[in-house]
Amino acid sequence: MALPKKTSAYQRLVLKTASILPERFRAAFLHPAGPTTIFFWAPMFKWGLVIAGLGDINRPAHTISLSQTASLMVTGAIWSRYSLVVTPKNYNLFSVNLFTCGTGAYNFIRGLLYQLRESGTTDE
């Protein structure tokens, strides 16, 4: 694998690593959304939001923030759409945002139903 004339130390490291990988892994390693790019690592760390949302399922409904879960739900939906429009399509980004939207929606509905029930009992 010939190196271009002007490359950064990082690019040289990536190309050197790719040259020692088996052929079947090299294409995935050098993919525009592969593990050498931010397009891989940002969604990987964003899975932490999904894990936090799943943890919130066990929280009492009165402690759920409607504004926070609504923002997670909306941004998850927006970024899910974006991840399928950009080039290259980033299915990891799509899936993490879809799950972020889903956990946000579930927790939002739980919190909203609780608040509606509480406001209905105080009106009587």
For residue 27, what are its two tokens? 């294409």
List CB contacts of 1: < 8 A, sequence separation 6 or more: 15, 18, 19
Within-domain flag for 49: no
Residue 122 — pLDDT band, cuts 50, 70, 90?
A: low
Residue 82's domain comprises 62-123
pTM, rounded to two decimals? 0.76
**Model confidence over 34-79: pLDDT tens digits?**
888 888 889 999 999 999 999 999 999 999 999 999 999 999 999 9
| pLDDT reported for residue 32 | 83
Within-domain flag for 93: yes
Domain count, the chain: 1
| pLDDT reported for residue 75 | 96
Containing H/E element for 8?
A: none
